[in-house]
Amino acid sequence: MKEKTNEIPEKMSIFGIIAVFLVNFGYMSDMVIVPAIGNIYGQFAGTAPMPVLNFILTGSQFMAVFSPLVAIALMRHFSKKHVMIGFFTLFTICSICGCLVLNAYYIALMRAFVGFAGGGLCSVAMALIVEIYRNNPKTCANLTGYFKSAMTLTGALLSFIAGFVCDAFGWTSVFKIYWFAVPILIMLIFCLPWTPPEKISSKELKKTAAEKKESLWNRHVIAQLASFLFINLSFCLFCYSIHVYVLETNLGDSAFAGTVTAVGNCCSVLMGLVFGVLYRKFKRGTPIYFYACLIVCFVMLSIVVNKAWLIAAMIFGAMGYGPSIAYHYMAIKDVVPVTRISTGIALVTAVMGLGAALSSFALTFLEFLGFPGMVSVFPLYAGIAAAGCVISIILTIRSKKTESA
Q: What is the pLDDT of residue 247?
A: 74
Distances (CA, A) of 15 to 11, 32, 118, 326: 12, 25, 21, 22
Among 344, 388, 5, residue whose Cα is nearest residue 201: 5
**What is d(CA 403, CA 374) in angstroms, rounded to the nearest whole number?**
43
Which DSSP category does 48 fall into? B
pLDDT of residue 337: 82
State how far the Cα of 337 lies from the Cα of 340, in Å rounded to an integer: 5
CA distances from 148 to 106, 162, 355 (A): 32, 21, 17
Q: What single string gives the DSSP state of each residue in 215-233? A: -TT-HHHHHHHHHHHHHHH
pTM strictly above 0.95: no
Average pLDDT for 242-250 = 77
What is 14-200's CATH number, 3.75.10.10, 3.40.50.2300, 1.20.1250.20, 1.10.3720.10?
Answer: 1.20.1250.20
Q: Report the sign of the C-alpha dihedral through residues 343, 325, 26, 182, in that order.
A: negative
pLDDT reading at 208 higher than 60? no
Average pLDDT estimate for 172-177 = 92
- Per-residue model confidence (pLDDT) at position 211: 47
More confident of the two residues 4 and 319: 319
Tell which residue, 301, 328, 305, has the closest CA to residue 314.
301
Cβ neighbours around 11 below 10 Å, total: 11
Q: 217 falls in which pLDDT band (50, 70, 90)?
A: confident
Phi and psi torsions of 326, nearest 5°: -65, -40
CATH topology of domain 219-404: Growth Hormone; Chain: A; (1.20.1250)
Q: pLDDT tens digit string along 253-285?
A: 766 877 888 888 889 889 988 998 888 888 888
Give the pLDDT confidence score for residue 188 in this predicted structure. Answer: 96
Residues 6+ apart with CB under 8 A from 294: 231, 234, 235, 316, 317, 320, 321, 381, 382, 385
pLDDT tens-digit map of 80-102: 999 999 999 999 999 999 989 99
Confidence of residue 240 (pLDDT cuts 50, 70, 90): low
CA 366 to chain centre: 24
pLDDT score recorded for residue 82 = 95
Task: Please tell me the distance from the alpha carbon of residue 18 to that of residue 16, in angstroms, as a whole number.
Answer: 5
User: What DSSP character marks residue 260?
Assistant: H
Phi, psi of 45 (to 5 degrees): -60, 125
- Looking at residue 30, what is its pLDDT? 83
Alpha-carbon distance of 132 to 10, in angstroms, equals: 5
Q: Is the dihedral of CA 263, 264, 269, 272 positive or negative?
A: positive
Torsion angle of alpha carbons 261, 263, 264, 269, nearest 10°?
130
Angstrom distance (rounded) from CA 270 to CA 319: 9
* pLDDT for 401 beyond 60: yes
What is the reported pLDDT for 89? 97
27, 121 contact by CB (below 8 A): yes
Sign of CA dihedral 279, 282, 284, 288: negative
pLDDT classification of 113: cutoffs 50, 70, 90: very high
- What is the DSSP-derived secondary structure letter of residue 333? T
pLDDT band for 175, please (50, 70, 90 cuts).
Answer: very high
Is 249 in a helix, a strand, or coil? Answer: coil
Q: What is the mean pLDDT of residues 358-376?
A: 76
On whether the CB atoms of residues 268 and 318 are closer than 8 A, the answer is yes
Q: How far is Cα 353 from Cα 356, in angstroms, rounded to an integer?
A: 5
**pLDDT (tens digit, 9 = 90+) per residue, 306-318?**
899 999 999 999 8
Dist. CA 133–CA 59, nearest whole Å? 34
Instruction: Report the helix count and the strand count for the chain, using DSSP H and E.
Output: 18, 0
The angle that helices 307-332 and 137-169 make with each other, rounded to 10 degrees, is: 130
Residue 10 DSSP one-character state = S
Whether the predicted pLDDT of 59 surpasses 70: yes
What is the model's pLDDT at position 104? 92
Residues of the chain with CATH 1.20.1250.20: 14-200, 219-404
Give the SS3 label for residue 176. Answer: helix
Q: Phi and psi for 253 in degrees, rounded to 5? A: -115, -170
Average pLDDT for the chain: 85
